[in-house]
């Protein structure tokens, strides 16, 4: 069951819509078991590796499994099944088998879960080919991307959900959201002063920073990639080529998704020259996430940190 409750409503609708959809989790809603049966809604022992392996086998033979991994830190329990198997089977079988399956998990919220259970490991999956990675920046996008993921035929999808998305959730809009194609960034605001790329829970902070800067006449372009694999590199590169400034904003460490995005961008002809070093990061330190809220405070991409980064870049040139 999801930290972002509206996703459970979406999943319920999708279970209703597609009889091949099955749900695996260590804890499942009793009402789903009644409604869809224990064969489609499977309460599993605490066996995440086997659950993901089973999801792969089910996907290869025609079902559409969704595994709720609960915490993103549990992704590290299932890496062999996910990376060495699910992500490789289409390639290994040279296209004979496909493995459409979805893994959902929660990243970080101010829940003080500590160094083990507060993590944003999506950057890892940007360098393990064969999985697609969605990190929505709003509850509405989360719902839309979940719908796409469970209807998609292409292969494994990881959906990383920041619990904080619940704070700004327009329930009606979220539930009504149509499936959204992967690989299409959302332009949250337009502008020329700098390109701000924000991910997941950091999108909200970046939006507030954008508003604040706009009030001062500094108009940044704010892009939420929504999916990291595939990444909407054309949109990101076009923006950066235009603004000549890049701020990467994430609640994970910069060695994660930000490093991956940056390296990918620099590979686009002209980007490095356009940027000329005007790159800033607002991200978590390169150490685990501590429990004490006082220690954790500096792990959040706050609007203040984002505006400061933009000001630094715009002042520089």
Partner 1 sequence: MALALPADPAVSPMDPPQDGGLDLVAAYKAMVLIRAYEERILQARTDREVIGPVHPYIGQEAVAVGVCAALQPRDHLVSHYRGHGHALARGVDLDALTAELFGRADGLCGGKAAALVSDPATHLLLSSGIVGAGIPVAAGAAMTSQVRRDGAVAVVFFGEGALGAGVVHETLTLAVAQRLPLILVCENNGYQGATRTEEVYPETSVARIAEGHRMPVHRVDGNDTLAVHAAAAASVAVARAGQGPAFIEASTYLTRFHLQFDRPSGERRPAEELDGWLARDPLDALRGHLLAAGTAPDLLDALHSEAERRVEAAVAFARTSPWPAPELALTNLWAGTP
Ligand X SMILES: Cc1ncc(C[n+]2csc(CCOP(=O)(O)OP(=O)(O)O)c2C)c(N)n1
Scan residues 156-175 and list those touching partner 1 (CB under 8 A). 156
- Sort strands 279-284 and 132-134 into parallel, antiparallel or unpaired: unpaired
Q: Does 262 bind a copy of itself (CB under 8 A)?
A: yes
Q: Does 312 bind a copy of itself (CB under 8 A)?
A: no
Only one of the segments 254-262, 268-276, 282-290, 302-310 lies at the binding site for partner 1 (rule: CB under 8 A); that segment is 282-290
Whole-angstrom Cα distance, residue 45 to residue 162?
25
By CB atoms closer than 10 A (0-12, 13-18, 19+), residue 259 is middle
Q: How many residues bind ligand X (CB under 6 A)?
A: 6
118: its two tokens = 């507060």
Residues 6+ apart with CB under 8 A from 254: 248, 281, 283, 284, 286
Q: Does 84 bind a copy of itself (CB under 8 A)?
A: yes
Residue whose pair of structure tokens reads 């930290």 in the numeric block = 3
When binding is defined by CB under 8 A, the residue of 66, 72, 75, 89 that contacts partner 1 is 89
Q: Does 129 bind a copy of itself (CB under 8 A)?
A: yes
Q: Does 27 bind partner 1 (CB under 8 A)?
A: yes
160, 105 contact by CB (below 8 A): yes
Whole-angstrom Cα distance, residue 193 to residue 217?
10
Only one of the segments 59-67, 95-103, 167-175, 283-291 lies at the binding site for a copy of itself (rule: CB under 8 A); that segment is 283-291
Q: How many residues bind a copy of itself (CB under 8 A)?
A: 50
Q: Which residues, numbered 111-130, are part of the site for partner 1 (CB under 8 A)?
A: 111-117, 129-130
Question: 256-260: which pairs have CB atoms within 8 A and are 24 or more residues apart?
Answer: 256/120, 256/121, 256/122, 256/123, 256/124, 256/283, 257/120, 257/122, 257/123, 257/126, 257/135, 257/199, 257/228, 258/123, 258/199, 258/283, 259/123, 260/123, 260/126, 260/127, 260/228
Q: Does 140 bind partner 1 (CB under 8 A)?
A: no
When binding is defined by CB under 8 A, the residue of 126, 135, 150, 162 that contacts a copy of itself is 126
Q: Does 79 bind a copy of itself (CB under 8 A)?
A: yes
Q: Which residues, numbered 93-112, are part of the site for partner 1 (CB under 8 A)?
A: 93-98, 100, 111-112
When binding is defined by CB under 6 A, the residue of 2, 3, 14, 26 that contacts ligand X is 26
124: its two tokens = 């890892």
Q: Does 74 bind ligand X (CB under 6 A)?
A: yes
When binding is defined by CB under 8 A, the residue of 156, 183, 210, 258 that contacts a copy of itself is 258
Whole-angstrom Cα distance, residue 202 to residue 27?
29
Whole-angstrom Cα distance, residue 4 to residue 243?
35
Q: Does 70 bind ligand X (CB under 6 A)?
A: yes
Q: Does 73 bind ligand X (CB under 6 A)?
A: no
| Residues making contact with a copy of itself (CB under 8 A) | 73-74, 76-77, 79-80, 83-85, 87-88, 91-92, 114-116, 121, 123-124, 126-130, 253-256, 258-260, 262-264, 266-267, 270-273, 275-279, 281, 286-288, 290
């Amino acid at each position: 069951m999801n930290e972002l409750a509206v996703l459970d409503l979406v999943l319920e609708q999708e279970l209703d819509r597609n009889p091949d959809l099955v749900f695996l989790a260590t804890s499942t809603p009793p009402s789903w078991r009644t409604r869809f049966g224990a064969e489609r809604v499977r309460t599993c022992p605490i066996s995440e590796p086997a659950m993901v392996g089973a999801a792969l086998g089910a996907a290869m033979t025609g079902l559409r499994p969704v595994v709720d991994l609960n915490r993103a830190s549990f992704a590290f329990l299932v890496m062999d099944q996910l990376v060495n198997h699910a992500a490789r089977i289409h390639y290994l079988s040279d296209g004979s088998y496909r493995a459409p399956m979805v893994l959902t998990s929660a990243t970080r919220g101010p829940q003080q879960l500590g160094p083990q259970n507060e993590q944003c490991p999506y950057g890892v999956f940007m360098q393990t080919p064969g999985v697609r990675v969605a990190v929505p920046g709003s509850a509405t996008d989360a719902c839309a991307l979940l719908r796409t993921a469970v209807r998609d035929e292409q292969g494994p999808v990881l959906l990383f959900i920041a619990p904080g998305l619940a704070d700004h959730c327009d329930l009606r809009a979220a539930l009504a959201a149509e499936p959204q194609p992967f690989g299409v960034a959302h332009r949250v605001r337009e502008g020329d002063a700098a390109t701000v790329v924000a991910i997941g829970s950091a999108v909200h902070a970046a939006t507030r920073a954008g508003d604040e800067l706009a009030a001062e006449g500094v108009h940044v372009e704010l892009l939420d990639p929504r999916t990291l694999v595939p990444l909407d590199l054309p949109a990101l590169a076009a923006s950066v080529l235009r603004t000549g400034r890049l701020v990467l904003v994430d609640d994970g460490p910069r060695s994660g998704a930000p490093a991956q995005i940056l390296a990918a961008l620099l590979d686009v002809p002209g980007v490095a020259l356009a940027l000329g070093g005007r790159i800033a990061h607002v991200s978590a330190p390169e150490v685990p996430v501590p429990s004490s809220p006082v220690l954790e405070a500096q792990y959040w991409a706050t609007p203040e940190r984002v505006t400061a980064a933009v000001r630094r870049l715009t002042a520089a040139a």
